[in-house]
Chains A and B, each alone.
Chain A
Amino acid sequence: MPVNIVKLTYREALRRALREEMQRDENVYMMGEDIGVYGGAFGVSLGLMEEFGKEKIKDTPLSESVIVGAALGSALTGMRPVAEIMFMDFITIGMDQLINQAAKIHYMYGGKARVPMVLRTAGGSGTGAAAQHSQSLEALLCHIPGLKVVMPSTPYDALGLLKSSIRDDNPVVFIEHKLLYSQKGEMPQSEYLVSLGEAKVKRQGTDATIVAFSIMVPKALAAADKLSKEGISIEVIDPRTLVPLDSQRIVNSVKKTHRLLIVHEACGRGGFGAEILAQVEESEAFDYLDAPIRRLTGRNIPIPYSPGLERRTVPQEDDIIQAVSKLVVSE
């Protein structure tokens, strides 16, 4: 490992981003349930209260609605709050403040006010937490003009995207995945940013493109590795931010590979995969397609508890291999 490269977990990368931004800008502060001495349910803010004090790391009462609304109110008046909602499922409790208020203020007020807030939250299944602690609700948010939606899949991206989200002048919902917190990855020791709206080609390939985000990126990459042993060359693209979406990079890839599979954990019905599919269909890539675009998504059911059921509810590596295998033979 070169001297200027460090290896951090996704959790540590997020913490580094928070620390750097709080050091850089005195208006940045955090609030949320149990983020202080507990360090947040997933340990992201562990140690930050000791470092920055209770004024900057605010433990809130158990009140999601006011967490979202108060973040908005302080953002409107000059602060840059990073609010944490412990589980993505509970953003629903703050939904009025997020959807009816935060998302719309800049536009409704004729562009004369801004809401530079970040709402961090943990989504996804795979921990046996069942139907009310495992959802992937990004499609609800992507539907709302005015919100930006970020879903990092690596420690590198988590760090760079969180810093950019904090500096963005809009409400950004930053969706972390529970199963990624302990994943390790490399990044420069020196400061860097990852811009919102820039997809990343995670792996070059020629036979088909997989667009995957969040936890589905490592699964797609693992599947692509196995497929390469069978002589199938897969390009994997991680949009990293769903809003704004870098559709051009996806379109370019499809023009090269002529086949597209979109993979996400959330339910298929009304899922963000449908939006990506439509955008590619409506683009110049349409004429290049050699097969219908396919989606591989979570089933249209609540997340069940029992481990065997839970696993079968969302796409796994083998499902991706199967879906790609079908896609590359179809005309």
Chain B
Amino acid sequence: MQPSRSALVQMYKQMLTIRRFEEKVAEFLVKGIIYGTGHLYIGEEAVAVGACRAIKPDDYITSTHRGHGHCIAKGADLNRMMSELLGKATGYCKGKGGSMHIADVEAGNLGANGVVGGGIPIACGAGITIKMKGLKRVVLCFFGDGAVNQGVFHESLNLASVWNLPVIFICENNQYAMSTATRIAFNIEDLSLRAASYGMPGVKVDGNDVLRVYEEISKAVAHARDGKGPSFVVCQTYRWKGHSRSDAEKYRTRQEVAKWKKNCPLKRFGGYLLDKGILSEEEMGQIEGEVISSIKQAVDFAQDSPFPSLETLEEDVYAS
């Protein structure tokens, strides 16, 4: 089940793109170039990239407030993403959504979500469509550990199970929901145990190992495509940056952050590719250059784009 060489290189490039994109977003948040809030995916890149590599372009994903990584892994256009973050008319949502609402429904990205847990039942709904229309698709439903304590999580996993929906529920357990450590919010250490109570397969994986994520999600996808229903996959990872724009991070220690930074998903995968001779240092440098230039291009595009005109203010409230 190992991806091809070119797929591995693509995965590396995507992870790096997410990292560099988010670094740019962090800079823009500090400088006030991005007006609203933003939740950075740095440190969690292996989850989105490993999972999205396991699906096809016409499969669906639902995403979260921390959604830039999912978006990029699903193949989004960086120009339109950056424009949305800058509130520009050329953005994915014409500047009306911002970071927490980037969506590209035609491309199978059913949207980021400002409401924690908000995407989980939506994934079930997409699963219903797939079944009723006889499509051979699946849904990857991303959410954080915080969402696992929302009532709608339970309702959704149960529904998906009893209706045998082709949904893969992916918990990105980055150890915290804002300041709330999982040890405070849960009395179980392994969140995947919850799957048993809905009668679906549940597994916990190292979410900083992109190939492990790919492997587990691939199994769950095959299971769903075979008509065997949903799975719950918990990816253990870590949020490197503060929760959002302002966060004093009093709830965790520097040592803890440093420990997780040593377990960098990007470095780990890069090291693996070098070891196996799949990429050379030189090729990596070249990829880095391509990534930086694609982000620069996105920034230029966004900065050159106009803000939405006031005439658009009342457009799109209802579909006509």
Interface set of A (CB-CB < 8 Å, partner B): 33-34, 36-38, 41, 59, 61-66, 89-90, 93, 127-133, 299-302, 304-309, 312-313
Contacts and interface: CB of A to CB of B under 8 A. Distances in A.
Given A37-B250, A132-B114, A304 B150 contact: no
B180 A59 contact: yes
A304 B35 CA distance: 12
Given A37-B179, A37-B251, A128-B36, A305 B150 contact: no
Contact of A305 (B97, B116, B184, B314): B97
B265 interface: no
A322 to B, nearest CB: 16
Nearest to A63: B149
A37 to B, nearest CB: 5
Nearest to B244: A41
Interface in B292-316: 307-308, 310, 312-314
A128 B151 contact: no
A59 B96 contact: no
A280 B253 CA distance: 58
Contacts, number: 126
Contacts of A130: 36, 96-98, 100-101, 114
Given A130-B36, A299-B314, 19 more contacts: A61-B177, A62-B116, A62-B117, A65-B150, A66-B151, A128-B36, A129-B36, A132-B114, A133-B100, A300-B317, A301-B317, A302-B96, A305-B84, A305-B96, A305-B98, A309-B87, A309-B96, A312-B310, A313-B313
Contact of B88 (A38, A93, A306): A306
Contacts of A132: 100-101, 113-115, 118
| Chain B, interface SS category | loop
A227 B96 CA distance: 34
Interface of B: 35-37, 84, 87-88, 93, 95-98, 100-101, 113-118, 146-147, 149-152, 177-180, 184-186, 248, 250-251, 307-308, 310, 312-314, 317
A129 B36 CA distance: 5
Contacts of B177: 33, 61-62
A34 B97 contact: no
Contacts of A302: 96, 317
Contacts of B308: 304, 306, 308-309
A128 B87 CA distance: 9
A34 B36 contact: no
Contacts of B97: 130-131, 305
Given A38-B178, A38-B250, A62-B116, A305 B313 contact: no
